[in-house]
Amino acid sequence: MSRVRDEIVIALAGNPNSGKTTLFNALTGSHHKVGNYPGVTVEKREGTRRRGDRSYRFVDLPGIYSLTAYSLDEVVARDFLLDKKPDLIIDVLDSTNLERHLYLCLQFRELGIPVVGALNMSDEAEAKGLKIDTDELSAVLGIPLARTVGTVGSGIEGLLDQADAVADGATGAERMPGYGDELEDRLAPLVAAIEADPAFAAAYPSRWMAVKLLEKDEDARKRLKTHAASDRVLAAAAEATAWIERHFGKDSEIVVSEQRYAYIHGAVKEAVTVVRKPDFSMTEAIDRVVMHPVLALPLFLGVLWSVFQLTFAIGEFPMGWLETLFGYLGAGVAAILPDGLVESLLVDGIIGGVGGVFSFVPLIIILFFLLSVLEDVGYMSRAAFATDKLLHSFGLHGQSIFPLMLGFGCSVPAIMAARTLKSPRDRIVTILVIPFMSCGAKLPVHVLLAATFFPRNAAAMVMLVYAIGVALALGSSLLLKRTVLKGQATPFVMELPPWRAPTLSGLGWHVWEKTWLYVKKAGTVILAASILIWAITSFPRREPTDAELSSLAAATSAANPGLDAAALESLVANEVSRRTLEASAAGRIGHFIEPVFRPLGFDWKIGVATVTGFAAKEVVVSTLGVLYSVGGEEGNEESLRAALKADPVFNPLVAFSLMLFILIIPPCFAALGAIKAELGWKWLGFSFAYLLTLGWLIAFAVHRVGLLAGLVT
């Protein structure tokens, strides 16, 4: 490939657990962005790097095992490589497990796109006593190779040197791996027939298409319809496939796969030697406990319990500092500005709304950090195996544990993560039950209500709500699999990565990206929602006349004899605020929808806060802050708790019912959009109706049972 421009586009690809994301971060540093591929919610990460007079644009493809596309991840990776045609592919290979990882490498070679191999985790391979002859392996595979250790950024310059050499055409002709005379004799006529249409051959690699036709790949057959002589090519493919199956006595797809593995086995035998076997394997020793048939599931539950206990125990202090900070900020602004709309907007709308949400950032950071540690050390894969049997009994796939665990952070990436499930039924069920997991946005609501009405057992109450969400997810999946989504369970097959120590840089990237999304939402969606809520609670403005104030003061004094002047003034001011709020647009909307919420023990204020939560669940907290006008008080979170306690509508039973209602009802608009993008309008409508109905029924049942049991007098 001759050099035609200063920027080269590089697709970074590889198997899951190959260290691809770590290497991507090492290559791009802070110069990367995250988005979605057009038309799907699969995460797309792109990054850039400048070196000398050349720039590199890296596209981090989803981790996949094969280009025979069954899952959405594989479809995205295949379509990007075929349609976008990057300048080269960097295939990230786990040096400790080359025989498995080279299978995908051979498929990349079939595409005809230049490939550079990154022998990642080369330090771990050496520690295991594996000696890789890089030159020999490079010669056998026909691609340049570079040793890398992504966790410490080692080998990056050498990898880019190899990429430059390929881009400048300095590596010479690459030898294409062969799959044996029997297959090659069948492939050659197919390649010639495909190349008879130059336009088609320019759009799709001829050898890749020929191999895919022997594998009976449906997508390849669909693409072949644009070939000028598609019928003749299909006939030739059918003849070749029939010969292979007669000759080998097995399906041609299996034959192609076996020939790939035979080539890989020979390559590894030539280039990899075992210098010494370590006497002790840390991974095996830990797995004896973590993967124990009896201990695995209790250990997993204990890990989850520890994660949430640590989150609340550590986060309590910085959360209190932020509450105090925003309280002082609100009080300071109120002291500087004269009473009026501007002061009310800044103090009650922005500081009271957004500040209340920002106070929970420490909890979000700690939760994301702990989940990232579990992911980076390799525990998440073990958790999938530990919970597989349990999940199967409820109609879920073992691999569903990944998106479900991600749901504790944010529903949107959790819904996106379900794309790795190959069975459409498993994928649909998993996506439909993810909203039951208490995401980071619901956490502020749970913490606020638990700390207010269950101060001695706040953490335990929040964990109880989390547990109820998990139970509802399992129960709902069982119901769905026995009704609208009947079907055979798919087997669970997955590789276990070795245990690794997480790197601070890797954890930093994970936590920063996820926390920044939360903070950005607080500064955009929640800010806009807080201003809107302030507006509908402030307008239309109804100022009481002097006569009304005198009449109200007289009535209040008569109803509360013996009050001093300050106490009487406070009661009158509270009553004026209540009447003003009820006369506002929010009050009118709240009273209109109140009949729906009244059976749950909720009043119009709770109804308004719940409805605004569809923008983002954190908005429930900011809405309550605005409705109760606590933005200008010191420690506004404490002030909001005091205001909720003073409200006669609120009590522990109502608070618990509200926690469950917020837990179950449909998630935020962003998550609903992800469900629509993944499953379509039909399943989005089903999910919305199911969650809303179930949330109302459970909140109603809990409230009624509580009243009958005399929990509230």
Whether 631 and 691 map to the same domain: the answer is yes
257 token code pair: 């796969």
The average pLDDT across 174-193 equals 86
pLDDT at 116: 95
Whether 273 has a pLDDT exceeding 50, the answer reads: yes
115 and 258 share a domain?
A: no
Strands 115-120 vs 130-132: parallel, antiparallel or unpaired: unpaired
598 versus 345: the higher-pLDDT residue is: 598
Query: What is the pLDDT of the chain when averaged over all its residues?
Result: 83
pLDDT at 497: 72
Model confidence at 492, pLDDT cuts 50, 70, 90, reads low
Work out the pLDDT band at 31, boundaries 50, 70, 90: low
Mean pLDDT on 461-466 = 91
Check: CB of residue 357 under 8 Å from CB of residue 528: no
Tell me which of 342 and 102 has the higher pLDDT.
102
Is 488 part of any domain? yes
Degrees to nearest 5, angle at CA 170 with 165 and 176: 95
pLDDT at 369 > cutoff 50: yes
pLDDT score recorded for residue 632: 42
Task: Say what the pLDDT of residue 493 is.
Answer: 58
The neighbouring-strand residues paired with 272 are 132
pLDDT higher than 70, residue 636: no
Q: What is the pLDDT of residue 464?
A: 93
Q: Is the pLDDT of residue 490 over 80?
A: no
Residue type, 693: T
Domain that residue 48 falls in: 7-167
Instruction: Give the three-class secondary structure for 44.
Output: strand
Unique residue bearing structure tokens 């998993």:
430
Judged by average pLDDT, the poorest of 115-124, 132-141, 363-372, 559-568 is 559-568
Whether residue 592 sits in one domain with residue 488: yes
595 shares a domain with 462: yes
Q: Are 670 and 413 in contact (CB under 8 A)?
A: no
Give the pLDDT confidence score for residue 146 in this predicted structure. 95
**Token pair recorded at residue 345:** 């907007």
Positive or negative, the CA dihedral 637, 642, 648, 650 is positive
Tokens 């983002």 identify what position? 616
Per-residue pLDDT, 208: 92
Q: Token pair of 172, please?
A: 């010479």
Residue-level pLDDT at 40: 40
Q: In the predicted model, what is the mean pLDDT of residues 297-310? A: 84
Cβ atoms within 10 Å, residue 267: 21
Whether 467 is covered by a domain: the verdict is yes
Distance CA 236, CA 231 (A): 9
The rounded distance, in Å, linking the Cα atoms of 11 and 89 is 5
For residue 346, the model assigns a pLDDT of: 83
- Domain count for the chain: 3
pLDDT greater at residue 537 or residue 467: 467
Q: How far apart are CA 314 and CA 543, in angstroms?
A: 46
More confident residue, 586 or 148: 148
| Mean pLDDT of the region 444-450 | 91
Q: How many CB atoms lie within 10 A of CB 491?
A: 10
547: helix, strand or coil: helix
Q: For 64-78, what is the mean pLDDT?
A: 80
In this model, does residue 631 exceed pLDDT 60? no
What is d(CA 217, CA 233) in angstroms, rounded to the nearest whole number? 14
Q: Which two tokens stand for residue 182?
A: 């029997």
Q: Which of 349, 343, 314 is nearest to 636 (CA)?
A: 349
Three-state SS string over 197-252 comes to CHHHHHHCCHHHHHHHHHCCCHHHHHHHHHCCCHHHHHHHHHHHHHHHHHHHCCCH
CB burial of 197-206 (b: ≥16 within 10 Å; e: otherwise) equals: beebeeebbb
pTM, two decimals, is: 0.66
At 690 the pLDDT is 96
The arithmetic mean of pLDDT across residues 472-484, rounded, is 91
Is residue 112 in some structural domain? yes
**The pLDDT of residue 712:** 67
Asked if residue 477 and residue 610 are part of one domain, the reply reads yes
Ranked by mean pLDDT, the top range of 239-243, 403-407, 587-591 is 239-243
pLDDT higher at 554 or 465: 465
pLDDT of residue 658: 96
User: For the segment 375-400, what is each residue's pLDDT rounded down to a tens digit?
Assistant: 888 887 788 778 877 888 888 877 78
Per the domain annotation, does 577 fall within a domain? no
- Under DSSP, the state recorded for 295 is T
Residues 333 and 221 in one domain: no
Which pLDDT belongs to residue 684? 93
Top pLDDT among 201 and 632 is at 201
Does the pLDDT value for residue 601 go beyond 90?
yes
In this structure, what token pair is assigned to residue 548?
């009304």
- Tell me whether residue 591 is exposed, middle or buried, using C-beta atoms within 10 angstroms of its C-beta: 0 to 12, 13 to 18, 19 or more: middle
Determine the pLDDT at residue 405. 81
Give a yes or no: residue 361 inside a domain.
yes
The encoded tokens of residue 379 equal: 């525990």
Lookup: tokens for 65: 């095992």
Confidence of residue 281 (pLDDT cuts 50, 70, 90): low
Average pLDDT for residues 53-74, to the nearest whole number? 84
- Judge whether 394 lies within some domain: yes
- Asked if 353 and 530 touch (Cβ cutoff 8 Å), the reply is yes
User: Which of the residue ranges 97-111, 168-182, 361-375 has the most confident prediction, judged by mean pLDDT?
Assistant: 97-111
DSSP per residue, 155-210 = THHHHHHHHHHHHTT-S-PPPPP---HHHHHHHHHHHHHHHTSHHHHHHS-HHHHH
Q: Is the pLDDT of residue 435 over 90?
A: yes
Specify whether the CB–CB gap between 436 and 470 falls below 8 A: yes
Q: List the CATH number of the domain containing 245.
A: 1.10.287.1770
278 has pLDDT over 70: no
How large is the average pLDDT for residues 620-627?
78
Distance CA 609, CA 533 (A): 9
> What's the rounded Cα separation, in Å, for the pair 133 and 382?
32
Q: Give which of 444, 446, 448, 481 is closest to 462, Cα–Cα.
A: 446
Pair type for strands 115-120 and 88-94: parallel
Assign 56 a pLDDT band (cuts: 50, 70, 90).
Answer: very high
Please, where are the H alpha helices in 613-651?
Answer: 619-627, 636-646
CA atoms within 13 A on the CB side of 94: 21
CA separation for the pair 613, 120 (Å, rounded): 45
Query: 247, 273 in Cβ contact below 8 A?
Result: no
Please report which confidence band the pLDDT of residue 39 belongs to, taking 50, 70 and 90 as the band edges: very low
Domain end (from 144, 167, 190): 167
Distance CA 204, CA 289 (A): 49
Whether residues 188 and 162 fall in one domain: no
- pLDDT at residue 214, as a whole number: 93
Structure tokens at 67: 């280009």
The tokens describing 539, both together, are 């307008």
Q: According to the per-residue pLDDT averaged within each range, which of 329-338, 487-496, 513-522 is highest?
A: 329-338
Q: In angstroms, rounded to a whole number, what is the distance separating the alpha carbons of residues 50 and 160?
A: 11
Is there a single domain that holds both residue 233 and residue 344? no
Q: What is the pLDDT of residue 37?
A: 35
Q: Within a domain: residue 98?
A: yes
Residues 266 and 177: beta-carbon distance below 8 Å: no
End-of-domain residue from the set 167, 190, 212: 167
Of residues 411 and 103, which shows the higher confidence score? 103
DSSP assignment string, 507-545: HHHHHHHHHHHHHHHHHTHHHHHHHHHHHHHH-S--PPP
Cβ-based neighbours of 493, under 8 Å, separated by 6 or more: none
**37 and 185: one domain?**
no
Pairing state between β 130-132 and 272-274: antiparallel
377 or 639, greater pLDDT: 377
- Count of C-beta atoms within a 10 Å radius of residue 634: 15
What whole-number percentage of the chain has pLDDT above 90?
31
Measured CA to CA, the distance from residue 427 to residue 477 in angstroms comes to 11
CATH of residue 159: 3.40.50.300
Task: Look at 350 and 651; give whichever has higher pLDDT.
Answer: 651
Burial tier of 257 (Cβ tally within 10 Å: 0-12, 13-18, 19+): middle
Mean pLDDT for the stretch of residues 58-85:
84
5, pLDDT greater than 90: no
Q: What is the SS3 assignment for 433-460? A: HHHHCCCCCCHHHHHHHHHHHCHHHHHH
Residues 32 and 121 in one domain: yes
How much helix, strand and coil, in percent to the nearest 5, is found in the chain?
A: 65, 5, 25
186, 162: one domain = no
CA distances from 667 to 260, 435, 521, 671 (A): 45, 6, 15, 6
Q: What long-range pairs does 520-524 form, CB within 8 A, spacing at least 24?
A: 521/616, 521/618, 522/354, 522/357, 522/358, 522/361, 522/618, 523/354
Q: Are residues 328 and 387 in the same domain?
A: yes
Q: Does some domain include residue 175? A: no
* Domain final residue pick, 140, 167, 194: 167
Pairing between β-strand 7-14 and β-strand 88-94 as defined by DSSP bridges: parallel
Average pLDDT rounded to a whole number, residues 676-700: 93
Per-residue pLDDT of 644-659, as tens digits, reads 888 889 999 999 999 9
Average pLDDT of span 115-134: 90
